[in-house]
Structure 1
Amino acid sequence: MPPDLIAALDIGGTKIAGALVDGGGKLVARARRATPAQEDGPTVLRAVTAVLRELAAGEHWSRAAAVGIGSAGPVDASTGTVSPVNIPGWRGFPLVEGVRETTGALPVTLVGDGVAMAAAEHWQGAARGRTNALCMVVSTGVGGGLVLDGRLHPGPTGNAGHIGHISVDLDGDPCPCGGRGCVERIASGPHIARRALAAGWRPGPDGDASAAAVAASARAGDPVAAASFARAAQALAAGIAATANLVEIEVAVVGGGVAGAGEVLFGPLRRALADYATLSFVRDLTVLPATMGGDAGLIGAAAAAAQQARLPGFATG
């Protein structure tokens, strides 16, 4: 059988997932290891290699035509290196070179995890059929990726669309990226919880002080919890509108743990977006929840690799 699968990797601070993905986005084989995030670089690479070797030992590996990697970032696709914030042992680490030691001559595509999520949502999810889209992950951080003119737009280094570091408050809190008032400093889960606590919100008897607990309180009518989510929604709306003004996206897809709050987030987000996206060419911009779930990183890494390699049988846009 001719090669008709993509070997995909989804690398984050807690897990390294691998899969073989077919032209319809189906995962025909899986492998997974915990990320030894606090270990040195070679140790983390050995976990990646273990995932690849498990896939390679299966019956479908001979059908692999390319490798796609979606990694926590920053990444640099131009050099094949990664420097994930949550994996300290990888700083300028030659990940693509390390992967090639196992996968041989297969072409390898590296993108950031937000770009991978965008690729997945455009190929099989909420942005399917859309020509121009921003897809976002709102979780412990805020990332994203762009689809422009019907194709994934990763940029030269694989990071394009990183909306989390658009500044929406020039006098806001300093961000580790060097900026101030970044979307991530306002809209990420930890900052939603921090802001609610500072304003007087208190966790329930179980002591859960996460953004999910704040969302539950907001749902129950707590005004402080609701206000913290409204502030996050305002920051997201400002970033989305700025992106729309630049590149005329028609839809923004929002996923990640914070998006699990549902209407606690999406209600104020849509209202705030109506205040920010006011120019005639962005007024019809819509916001949708992501639909691809936990496999988005794998499916998106496969889609990015298929687009880069122009593989027949993968209609990824």
Structure 2
Amino acid sequence: MNDKTVLGIDIGGTKLAAAIVSTDGEILTQNRIPTPTGDADEIFAALRELIDTVRGDASPAAVGIGSAGPLDQQLGLVSPVNIAGWRNFPLVDRVRALVDDVPVTLGVDGHCFALGEFWTGAGRGERNLLGIVVSTGVGAGIVNDGRPLLGQSGNAAHLGHMVVDLDGEPCACGSFGCVETYASGPRMVARAQRRGWRPGESVDAAVLSADAAAGNELALAAFDDGAQALAAGIVATAVTVDLTTVVIGGGVAKAGPILFDPVQRWVKRFAQLPYVTDLSVRPAQLENAGLLGAARLALNTLHP
């Protein structure tokens, strides 16, 4: 068995990615494709082709999969909120059928992001870490004493679906007032447009960020609302788990100070207990933290 490489797979609502990764965290080959919008088999067919392309002649010793949730880690099933074609989809069994007789491990994409940043990114050298991905949704993961905190079902740290507004808007998860309903890119854009920012235009969070950086008050207000919700989720998690390091990545985080300045301001306002007053909120360093975290999940099966 070749124990020098593993296969990492990152599955999200907008893209599917895969990579062959060495034991020291070096990505040897990688590729990504848009997530198809078809039925379950069409989506998996695209993933299978991606895996075959990336793997080539490599014989990875293990496979790690990070997927949008929720999921059933024990049964290897995924039901991503943002991939309508997969409901209780047997992802682990289907991937296992594509690879040799090697371990296949499944984790939430937010967990993999946190684990990747902990391993080789902004959390290197820390023992505890909250990682947050702010994009079309809001995902999260916790590394506690060097290990990913998975929970009973493998879905721990779903910060994006923490309720922060008792009278808030409906969320895709079926609840209301979740962090994601305020802080995700599409929801910030929609809120700003309802208030009169670029009404009727087809725009995204990057345009919202650019307008906020130019001083547009409606765009700035949307980011402030999102930052307040994120900060509430961050502080609630920190006081529960007792950690002081937070890393934020994802497409919306590319707004830089437009997001991080209000997040840090609100965190300082909310974090009043002595053991969380020094919360450090920093930007992610890796463009592919989810892939690296999935690879680290795979490595953990070889070297617990």
Fold-level match, TM-score > 0.5?
yes
Q: Is the 8 A contact 2:73 2:154 kept in 1?
A: yes
**Pair 1:43-2:38 in alignment:** no
TM-score (norm: length of structure 1): 0.90
1:21 is the counterpart of 2:14: no
SS at 2:228 equivalent: helix
> How big is the shift at 1:55?
3.8
SS at match of 1:281: helix
Post-superposition offset of 1:230: 0.8
Aligned partner of 2:7 in structure 1 is 7
Q: Distance in 1 between matches of 2:197 and 2:54?
A: 47
TM-score by length of 2: 0.94
Q: Which residue of 2 aligns with 1:264?
A: 258
**Counterpart residue type for residue 30 of structure 1:** Q
Report the counterpart of residue 293 of structure 2 in structure 1. Answer: 300
Aligned partners of 1:255 and 1:289 also within 8 Å? yes
Contact 2:64-2:106 within 8 A present in 1 as well: yes
One-letter amino acid of the counterpart of residue 210, structure 1: D
Distance 1:56 1:178, change over 3 A: closer
Q: What RMSD, in angstroms, separates the aligned Cα atoms of the two structures?
A: 1.8
1:52 aligns with 2:51: yes
The 2-side partners of 1:301 and 1:167 are apart by: 28
Return the alpha-carbon distance in structure 1 between the equivalents of residues 134 and 127 of structure 2: 22
CA shift, 1:307, in A, is 2.0
Of residues 151, 154, 157, the one that matches 1:155 is: 151
Q: What is the 5 A alignment of 1:1-317?
A: 2-36=2-36, 38-58=37-57, 61-62=58-59, 64-202=60-198, 207=201, 209-293=203-287, 295-310=288-303
**Which whole-Å CA distance do the structure 1 matches of 2:33 and 2:177 have between them?**
35
Distance change in 2, residues 1:15/1:224 (3 Å)? closer
The DSSP-based 3-state class of the residue aligned with 2:272 is coil
Q: 1:306 to 1:213 in 2, by over 3 A?
A: same
* Superposed CA offset, 1:87-136 (max 9, x none): 22211011100111111310011011111111100001111111111100
| Structure 1 residue 297 displacement after superposition | 1.8
- Write out per-residue CA displacement over residues 259-292 of structure 1, whole angstroms, 9 at most, x where no aligned residue: 1111111111111101111100001111001111
Aligned partner of 1:128: which letter?
Answer: R
- Structure 1 contact 115–158 (Cα < 8 Å) conserved: no
Which has the higher mean CA deviation after the structures are superposed, 166-175 or 301-310? 301-310
* 2:171 aligned counterpart, secondary structure: coil
Within 2, Cα distance between the matches of 1:216 and 1:110? 36
Query: After the TM superposition, which of the residue ranges 231-240 and 216-225 deviates more from structure 2?
Result: 216-225
Q: Secondary structure at the match of 1:135?
A: strand
SS in 2 for 1:229: helix
Answer whether contact 1:130 1:250 (CA < 8 A) is retained.
no
Q: Deviations over 1:44-100 (max 9, x none)?
A: 222222223334432xx23x2110011122222111011122322211011100111
Gaps of 5+ in 2: none
Amino acid at match of 2:296: A
Cα contact 2:20–2:55 (8 A) shared by 1? no
Query: Using a 3 Å threshold, how does the CA distance of structure 1 residues 2 and 106 change in structure 2: closer, same or farther?
Result: closer
Please, which runs of 5 or more residues in structure 1 have no aligned partner? Answer: 312-317
Letter in 2 for 1:76: D
The letter for the 1-side match of 2:11 is I
Partner amino acid, structure 2, of 1:232: G
2:222 & 2:56 partners in 1: Cα distance? 49
How far apart, CA to CA, are the structure 1 residues paired with 2:51 and 2:193? 43
SS in 2 for 1:110: strand
CA–CA distance in 2 between the matches of 1:303 and 1:231?
Answer: 34
Q: Which amino acid aligns with 2:240?
A: L
How far did 1:16 drift?
Answer: 2.3
Question: What amino acid is the match of 1:96?
Answer: V
Q: Tell me the distance in 2 between the aligned counterparts of 1:234 and 1:92.
A: 33
Give CA deviations for 1:127-150 in whole Å, capped at 9, x if unaligned. 111111110001111010001112
